[in-house]
């Protein structure tokens, strides 16, 4: 019998379903109430809600709350440093059953090949991985990326079943100034969702940005900023990542009148934070603890996101929807008990119950190609008394543009740990051009040694911050030898490292191993005096030239507010 006809028969209680969840406290995102009832499932769909149903398998929830599976509205899976199956194994037991992924990171390294890799890796996991196509590869013309994707490159991908639209349009200045290549991508996506990325944008410029068809933003850091964007019709994605944390700052925005226009996203979240704190479930608990109505919070994590992206059969527990459901004991502790994906129990008490998908080994080409280093690449000739300094802002990708007396010795700029002025470099790693951006940064607190990474948003060149010339060069050489990764060095010793052979962004290791390595890397930076909570993530954002104020690319220092290169030294 055809599936639809059988689903209707189960709903009418003419035949038994496959799964019956009895005695649930249903969090009804449609009516806004908690409803004591039963739920029957046929195959992967919810067939009916109410009493009197029978099924082949019965689970008595005995008064547990039952909510729709949680949805992360914007995430870069690559930032977890895990392959998709390991990422799924991390977040599914926490109640996340769907994510909207932007493969922007791997696309900036490997282009079309990288996107295809992510699409393939996302199959057969108990996690819906929907995709938004990267809008900015490269993010700007002021850095060297591994690929360039224009409108005609991504157009065929919009026909894919799992592709929902155009990902965060980071080049907001390109939109406002009517850059043809940016507008072409917007034009081909007008029938789908177009996500935004407009930190600090306001007034008429914001109006122009929204008028182009961009409907969401996840870069708000204050209630004032979010309220202006909300009033202009944007959906506000409230972010709580590893380094950028906006949740507590934005929760005061939420009211009964505007909550349906808000949802939760993680954007960039490291595996140790997922293990120690959680994923979307962590955001839900924090919002409830803050005092927001629990049903409203569950909506923000489920139906709000589904409705924004047009996912008509997800986001709520109703007949005909996919049976993605999460049970928990109470709103106070919010400990996830059961996780059902397409009607199957896939996780229980934080442990997965499924076997990871078996798939052919994906062949990814090498992505670290640097010009041979001679040994003098990391010297900075002194060309003035005062210099521009990138000022780290705690828990934000935003930076300050500072000016300080340049630390100079023997006619060369050196690091000055006493003043927390450290040299920072971005080494082009895609085409062996030999480009090296040079600058100064304040806020890491290193007293000695160096930290280097092949994760440097968004073009992911090699970024390194350190004290001594030899340490800085040694760290870069280690990244090259590993074919991508993270490393902390002290003198000639490698204190800790993590290989990331997949595009210099992801490991082939397990969630637990990647998390342990990440912890050890951070602890190694502590031995060198680093005071930043997550220096690895912080370092990666120092090369992000689409978030103000002062950033560094392989081509030089960038004033993001004017989108122009500036000299390291300031004219006096």
Residues 306 and 390 in one domain: no
User: Is 373 contained in some domain?
Assistant: no
Residues 532 and 447 in one domain: yes
User: Is 2 contained in some domain?
Assistant: no
Per-residue model confidence as pLDDT tens digits over 23-49: 999 999 999 999 999 999 999 999 999
User: Is 318 contained in some domain?
Assistant: no
User: Is 62 contained in some domain?
Assistant: no
User: Is 23 contained in some domain?
Assistant: no
Tell me the pLDDT of the chain (572 aa) as tens digits: 579 999 999 999 999 999 999 999 999 999 999 999 999 999 999 999 999 999 999 999 999 999 999 999 999 999 999 999 999 999 999 999 999 999 999 999 999 999 999 999 999 999 999 999 999 999 888 999 999 999 999 999 999 999 999 999 998 989 999 999 999 999 999 889 999 999 999 999 999 999 999 999 999 999 999 999 999 999 999 999 988 899 999 999 999 999 999 999 999 998 889 999 999 999 999 999 999 999 999 999 999 999 999 999 999 999 999 999 999 999 999 999 999 999 999 999 999 999 887 766 667 888 999 999 988 899 999 998 999 999 999 878 889 999 999 999 999 999 999 999 999 999 999 999 999 999 999 999 999 999 999 999 989 999 999 999 999 999 999 999 999 999 999 998 999 999 999 999 999 999 899 999 999 999 999 999 999 988 998 999 999 998 889 999 999 999 998 889 999 999 86
- Amino acid 264: pLDDT: 98
Per-residue model confidence as pLDDT tens digits over 308-332: 999 999 999 999 999 999 999 999 9
Phi-psi region of 363 (alpha: psi -120 to 50; beta: other; left: phi over 0): beta
Strands 421-427 and 70-75: unpaired
SS3 state at 320: coil
Residue 93 DSSP label = G
- Amino acid 365: pLDDT: 85
Domain assignment of residue 207, given as a range: 73-311
Instruction: State the Cα–Cα distance between residues 548 and 527, nearest whole angstrom.
Output: 30
Residues 392 and 291 in one domain: no
User: Is 125 contained in some domain?
Assistant: yes
Instruction: State the Cα–Cα distance between residues 224 and 221, nearest whole angstrom.
Output: 9
Residues 143 and 238 in one domain: yes
- Amino acid 356: pLDDT: 80
Residues 413 and 506 in one domain: yes
What is each CA distance from 72 to 105, 131, 161, 204, in whole angstroms?
Answer: 17, 12, 18, 30
Residues 390 and 303 in one domain: no
CATH number assigned to the domain comprising residue 194? 3.20.20.140
- Amino acid 1: pLDDT: 55
Which of 311, 345, 371 terminates a domain? The answer is 311
Both tokens assigned to 219 = 């870069």
Which residue, among 114, 94, 92, has the nearest Cα to 105 in the 3D structure? 114
Please give the biggest Cα pair distance in the chain. 89
User: Is residue 284 within 8 Å of residue 298, measured between CB atoms?
Assistant: yes
CA 261 to mean position of chain CA atoms: 20
What is the phi/psi pair of residue 135, to 5°?
Answer: -95, -15
Both tokens assigned to 435 = 């480009």
Omega within 30 of 0 (cis) for the link into 138: yes
User: Is 17 contained in some domain?
Assistant: no
The domain tally of the chain equals 2
- Amino acid 357: pLDDT: 78
User: Is 328 contained in some domain?
Assistant: no
Q: Residue 163: how many CB atoms within 10 A of its CB?
A: 19
SS3 state at 440: strand
Residues 395 and 286 in one domain: no
User: Is residue 21 within 8 Å of residue 54, measured between CB atoms?
Assistant: no
- Amino acid 571: pLDDT: 80
Residues 437 and 295 in one domain: no
Strands 65-68 and 17-28: parallel
Both tokens assigned to 272 = 């140790």
Which of 285, 311, 337 terminates a domain? The answer is 311
What is the phi/psi pair of residue 338, to 5°?
Answer: -110, 145
pTM over 0.85, yes/no: yes
Residues 169 and 277 in one domain: yes
What is the phi/psi pair of residue 277, to 5°?
Answer: -110, -50
Instruction: State the Cα–Cα distance between residues 135 and 155, nearest whole angstrom.
Output: 11
User: Is residue 158 within 8 Å of residue 130, measured between CB atoms?
Assistant: no
Which of 252, 277, 311 terminates a domain? The answer is 311
Residues 135 and 232 in one domain: yes
Residues 423 and 509 in one domain: yes
């Amino acid at each position: 019998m055809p599936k639809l006809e059988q689903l209707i028969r189960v709903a009418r209680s003419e035949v038994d379903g496959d799964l019956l969840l009895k005695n649930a406290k249903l969090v009804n995102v449609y009516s806004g109430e908690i409803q004591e009832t039963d739920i029957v499932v046929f195959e992967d769909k919810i067939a009916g809600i109410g009493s009197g149903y029978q099924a082949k398998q019965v689970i008595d929830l005995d008064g547990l709350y039952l909510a729709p599976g949680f949805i992360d509205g914007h995430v870069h899976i690559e930032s977890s440093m895990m392959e998709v199956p390991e990422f799924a194994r991390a977040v599914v037991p926490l109640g996340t059953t769907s994510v909207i992924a932007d493969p922007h990171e791997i696309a900036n390294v490997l282009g079309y090949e990288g996107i295809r890799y992510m699409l393939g890796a996302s199959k057969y996991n108990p996690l819906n991985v929907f995709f938004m196509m990267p809008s900015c590869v490269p993010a700007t013309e002021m850095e060297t990326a591994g690929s360039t994707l224009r409108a005609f490159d991504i157009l065929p991908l919009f026909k894919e079943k799992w592709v929902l639209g155009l990902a965060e349009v980071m080049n907001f200045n390109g939109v406002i100034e009517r850059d043809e290549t940016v507008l072409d991508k917007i034009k081909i996506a007008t029938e789908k969702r177009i996500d935004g990325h407009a930190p600090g944008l306001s007034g008429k410029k914001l109006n122009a940005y929204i008028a182009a068809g961009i409907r969401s933003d996840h870069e708000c850091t204050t209630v004032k900023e979010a309220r202006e964007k909300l009033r202009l019709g944007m959906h506000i994605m409230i972010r709580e990542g590893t380094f950028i944390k906006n949740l507590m700052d934005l929760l005061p925005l939420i009211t009964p009148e505007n909550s349906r226009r808000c949802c939760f996203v993680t954007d960039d979240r490291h595996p140790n934070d997922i293990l120690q704190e959680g994923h979307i479930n962590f955001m839900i608990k924090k919002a409830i603890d803050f005092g927001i109505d629990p049903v409203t919070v569950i909506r923000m994590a489920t139906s709000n996101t589904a409705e924004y992206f047009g996912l008509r059969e997800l986001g709520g527990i109703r007949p005909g929807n996919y049976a993605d459901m999460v049970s928990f004991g109470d709103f106070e502790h919010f400990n996830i008990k059961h996780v059902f994906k397409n009607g199957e129990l896939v996780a229980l008490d934080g442990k997965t119950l499924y076997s990871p998908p078996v798939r052919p080994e994906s062949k990814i080409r090498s992505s670290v190609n640097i010009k041979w280093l001679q040994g003098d690449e990391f010297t900075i000739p002194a060309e003035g008394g005062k210099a521009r300094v990138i000022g780290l802002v705690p828990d934000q990708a935003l930076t300050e543009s500072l000016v300080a007396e340049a630390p100079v010795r023997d006619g060369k700029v050196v690091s000055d740990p006493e003043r927390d002025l450290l040299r920072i470099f971005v080494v082009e790693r895609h085409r062996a051009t030999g480009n090296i951006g040079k600058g100064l940064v304040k806020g890491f607190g290193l007293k000695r040694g160096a930290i280097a990474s092949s994760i440097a948003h968004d073009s992911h060149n090699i970024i390194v911050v350190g004290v001594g010339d030899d340490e800085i060069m040694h760290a870069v050489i280690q990244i090259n030898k590993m074919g991508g990764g993270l490393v902390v060095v002290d003198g000639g010793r490698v204190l800790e490292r993590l290989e990331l052979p997949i595009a210099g962004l992801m490991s082939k290791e397990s969630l637990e191993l990647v998390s342990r390595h990440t912890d050890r890397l951070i602890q190694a930076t502590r031995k060198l005096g680093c005071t930043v909570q997550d220096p690895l993530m912080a370092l990666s954002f120092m090369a992000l030239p689409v978030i103000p104020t002062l950033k560094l690319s392989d081509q030089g220092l960038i004033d993001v507010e004017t989108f122009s290169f500036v000299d390291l030294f300031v004219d006096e």
